[in-house]
Structure 1
Amino acid sequence: MGSLGQQKPHVVVFPYPVQGHMNPLMEFAKRLVCRNLHVTFITTERVRERMIKAQSGATVHVTSALQDIRIETISDGLSPDCEQTKDVDMVFDLFRKVGGLTLEQVIERLNSQGDTVSCIVYDSLLEWVPDIASKFNIPSAFFWTQSCAVYSIYYHFYTGMVKAKDEAGNVRDVIEIPGLPQLCQSDLPSFLQPSNTNGPLFRLVMNQFSTISQATWILGNSFDELEMAEIQSMDSLIPIRTVGPLLPSAFLDGNDPQDQEVGTNLWKAGNCIDWLNTKEASTVVYVSFGSLAVLSKEQIIEIALGLKASRHSFLWVIRPDDNKEENNNVDEFLEGFLEETVYQGLVVSWCPQMAVLSHPSVGMFVTHCGWNSTLESLSSGLPVLTITQWSDQPTNSMYIEEVWKTGIRLNKLGDGLVGRDEVEKSIKRVMESDEGLELRKNALQWKILAKKAMVKGGSSDKNIDCFIHEVIARTTLA
């Protein structure tokens, strides 16, 4: 592999630079480092600045694996005043052009320094990376950050093997895809539903597959036991190898008890663990809607009033940017609400989610059902209530209720809101009834299987080892 003769293969890991995509790929990077590979993690200059700001003054457990990962930055081509732009086509076009150019410069510099790149693991949203990898004769690994069910759904729609409408142009009531349960239109990812009006994001998710044939490996953040039929159904089409759930080691396989944080936070975490320590076991309702979903003022109010009426203790994450734009006048309501519930709940701007979900005082999780949060709830053995927003969340929510049987989908009113009565009633169903005990029992079974997949000899552990051995073999031959 070059005249300088590297001792370790060098893997570049490149996520799309948002929290939900960075987290699993950073965890994957840690797994590679712990197996004696050299890893460079690529992000953008602006995201790196946010990571540093979020860590400033915070207590962060920096493990040896995290220390051993080199972080390199590239440009996304955006000026600072474009932070909130909604022009998806413009953002991705700039990233493709400017980000691609600066990525090439990073690879050239690493190679010239003797750190010859052996493999690029790239986020599926960055479909332009394989072309750059080919320029340098570097094999690439396509990394899927959502469920294998959603992988199958998108692929079947991308290839035209499955269509939302029949030959007469009528919307199909039922969608049938091999290896998946029957799906209603409302179970599909939002970008595939007839009601979708977001053309740019539809094109984006479809475009993920445009260069997948160039990838040497296809990896996914799931585990075989969770989605066996879905994974096997893709074997004859375009197989995916599961390497998850990709979570900090302390909460899963336990190989590194100090590994309690991902290390890619874009918000400063509030101190909520001390508060949780004052609560009795399984008494707290944890509420968080991830890193991208922005709830309307009306939805925030309905959730707040439902939480209050349930009379259960709650920990609620409301990001600083949740109060921007349409929600900019929700502060006054929240101020009064917090005064009224000062002995019942705590609201923070961000938190170490796995530490919270694993805390003995937490009894359930109210979630938007993003894939990271879904895996985290399963790996923590917690029952959930789902309030979905967009993207893959409707599909994840359906699986949680109907396939894995660990939670309840909350019903929306005619205006699309989940009402306060539904929130209150559903919390009590989970926290106070035999139904809730059954959901918890099912969730605990998935927790056992998630851990089993990642410990030595588990399905995902073996897949990671297999990937590494293949990278080493290619490096040796180069």
Structure 2
Amino acid sequence: MGSLGQQKPHVVVFPYPAQGHMNPLMEFAKRLVCRNVLVTFIATERIREQMKQAQEGAAAHVTSALQDIRIETISDGLSPDCEKTKDVDMILDLLKKVGGLTFERVIERLNSQGDTVSCIVYDSFLDWVPDIANKFNVPSAFFWTQSCAVYSIYYHFYTGMVKAKDEAGKMRDVITIPGLPPLCQSDMPSFLQPSNTYPSLLKLVLNQFRPVSQATWILGNSFNELEMAEIQSMDSLIPIRTVGPLLPSAFLDGNNPQDQDVGTHLWKTANCIDWLNTKEASTVVYVSFGSLAVISKEQIIEIALGLKASQHFFLWVIRPDHDNEENNDIDDFLKGFLGETVDQGLVVSWCPQMAVLNHPSVGMFVTHCGWNSTLESLSSGLPVLTIAQWTDQTTNSKYIEDVWKTGIRLNRTRDGPVGRDEVEKSINTIMESEEGVELRKNALHWKTLAKKAMVKGGSSDKNIDWFIHEVITRATLA
């Protein structure tokens, strides 16, 4: 790679093609662009088309958010009849084989037209990208989209430094990992729990660390003040630099007031703000289970009846696929439920989550506790009710309740979903009791620290500046 001279550093950002992975990496791309870095964002052809459809008729601030970021597409190898497949092994294998080849061609073309690539920032799920970076003699940055606590857990299990079973082969009741609180089996990421039925996904999450030694930098979507002990405990193993929370600037540090939306939605967003504007301060319960969580029909019914019984206003996001696998059955229930609660709630298929969480009428968040939603709740100063489904959500829920103390955790039982009575009671506790006041106070504390991390001179702001300086230095010396 030749000398940069006066040329801007050029960073290629490559997320795993799913909403929860694209969002933080797009926000990171925006942070780089604001610092005079040329950024190329990689999307699969299917995902790019979905983004375009979702942005049709979107507000100007949504489409303008991406105007300074170049988006290049690659093929994921999936045929149209495979688009709805949930076979993660097949998706990843095709993305590596077909996507890898088309990604190489993108790098070759960018270099040949004078936009020499200085660095590739890649999602940790894409463990084959460092090989391509090495082929082009380009440094790479391993990007972690979950919490630093989960980063530490997976690393300790990957290396065998910590095991789920003791010497006698019995499952440990408590898992002890440096820098983390003691964890029960139910606090662990679901893939590490005895009940895990996804062995291929366990292999995937652990194998993220296989090529990590090839990465020049390791970056994470968190902030020092939130996970200080967890971050410091990894310093002597594989240090991680936090550059988050990676959320739209307008709702966090305010450096870019135009950045009000991540801009990578895969579904059209509904206009729910007008409805929220009709409600008084802190009177609405916001409910959303993210972009991937699959909620059973039974759980949807229990949440619905709990919401209704609480008598609080609610805004509920139910994705176009209804968050469940029994669409026809649930349609009939939802029609009846919506008719009964027409004056109490609003159900939409997707919404601009940060705008909703920061709306004065919203008083709490019912969430699956994915990492993006967790950071969004903390950065918005909202107390939460967590109903974790799988993957890292169980660990995030543990931290929400016991470490950061911003919410109440409801755990599913082996016998079935979280019940309506528990949902109703927990909502009323957060919305009406002194305990709820304390949870809100704690959440506002983390909101202040999240903003502090991202403003000029904050911990994450400094780490982003450090990263760019490192990229420029290496590109200049190459």
How far has the Cα of 1:206 moved from its partner? 0.8
Q: Partner residue of 1:270?
A: 270
SS in 1 for 2:321: helix
Partner of 2:90: 90
Which amino acid is 1:32 matched to? Answer: L
Is 1:355 aligned with 2:360? no
Q: Deviations over 1:360-389 (max 9, x none)?
A: 000000000000000000000000000000
Please name the residue that 1:338 is paired with.
Answer: 338
- The answer to whether the 8 A contact 1:162-1:177 is kept is yes
**Structure 2 counterparts to residues 69-108 of structure 1, below 5 A:** 69-108=69-108
Answer whether contact 1:63 1:258 (CA < 8 A) is retained. no
Distance across 2 between alignment mates of 1:182 and 1:3: 49
The CA deviation at 1:323 is: 5.8
For residue 170 of structure 1, what is the amino acid of its counterpart?
K
Deviates more, 1:456-465 or 1:199-208: 199-208
Which deviations, in whole Å up to 9, do the C-alpha atoms of 1:214-263 show, x marking residues without a partner?
00000000000000000000000000000000000000000111110001
Matches within 5 A, 1:215-226: 215-226=215-226
Shift of 1:62: 4.3
State the partner residue of 2:385.
385
Amino acid of the residue matched to residue 177 of structure 2? I
Partner of 1:451: 451
* Corresponding position: 1:16 with 2:31: no
Distance in 1, Cα, partners of 2:30 & 2:448: 22
Structure 1 segment 253-268 matched on structure 2, within 5 A: 253-268=253-268
Kindly state the Cα deviation for residue 87 of structure 1 after the two structures are TM-superposed: 2.0
* TM-score in terms of structure 2 length: 0.98
**1:297 corresponds to which residue?**
297
The equivalent residue for 2:147 is 147
CA shift in 2, pair 1:62/1:308, >3 Å: closer
User: Structure 1: which amino acid aligns with 2:42?
Assistant: I
Quote how far apart the aligned CAs of 1:326 are: 2.4
Shift of 1:63: 7.1
What is aligned with 2:127?
127
Q: Distance in 1 between matches of 2:141 and 2:23?
A: 17
8 Å contact 2:120–2:141 — kept in the other structure?
yes
> Could you tell me which residue of structure 2 aligns to residue 249 of structure 1?
249
Query: C-alpha distance in 2, partners of 1:433/1:293?
Result: 30
Aligned match of 1:184: 184
Q: Answer yes or no: is the 8 Å Cα contact 1:146–1:220 preserved in 2.
A: yes
- 1:83 Cα offset (Å): 1.6
Q: 1:60 Cα shift?
A: 4.0
- Judged with a 3 Å threshold, the aligned counterparts in structure 2 of structure 1 residues 95 and 383 are, in CA distance, closer, same or farther, namely same
- Residue in 2 aligned with 1:371? 371
Aligned residues: 478
CA distance in structure 1 between the aligned counterparts of 2:260 and 2:416, rounded to whole angstroms = 37
What is the rounded CA distance, in whole Å, between the counterparts of 1:366 and 1:93 in structure 2?
A: 35
Structure 2 distance, partners of 1:212, 1:51, is 30
Asked whether the equivalents of residues 250 and 258 of structure 1 are also in contact (C-alpha less than 8 Å), the reply is yes
Query: Matches of 2:153 and 2:82 in 1, distance apart?
Result: 33
- Aligned match of 1:53: 53
Cα deviation code 1:77-98 (max 9, x no counterpart): 1101112212222211111111
C-alpha distance in 1 between matches for 2:459 and 2:2: 34
1:460 Cα shift? 0.2
Helix, strand or coil at the partner of 1:271? coil
State the secondary structure of the residue aligned to 2:316.
strand
* 437-446 vs 92-101, greater mean Cα deviation: 92-101
The 8 Å contact of residues 8 and 38 in structure 1, kept in 2 or not, is answered as yes
Cα contact 1:315–1:347 (8 A) shared by 2: yes
Q: Give the share of equivalent positions with the same residue, in percent.
A: 85
Q: In structure 1, what is the equivalent of residue 118 of structure 2?
A: 118
Contact kept, 8 Å, 2:2 with 2:475, in 1: the verdict is no
Note the alpha carbon deviations across 1:51-92, whole angstroms, 9 max, x for none.
Answer: 000011222414766211000000111101112212222211
Q: How far apart are 1:6 and its partner, in Å?
A: 5.8
Q: Is the 8 A contact 2:89 2:200 kept in 1?
A: yes
One-letter amino acid of the structure 1 residue matched with residue 202 of structure 2 = F
Alpha-carbon distance, 1:413 to partner: 4.3
| Corresponding residue number in structure 2 for 1:237 | 237
Aligned counterparts of 1:325 and 1:79: Cα–Cα separation in 2:
22
Query: Which amino acid in the other structure matches residue 214 of structure 2?
Result: Q
Residue 202 of structure 1 corresponds to which residue in structure 2?
202
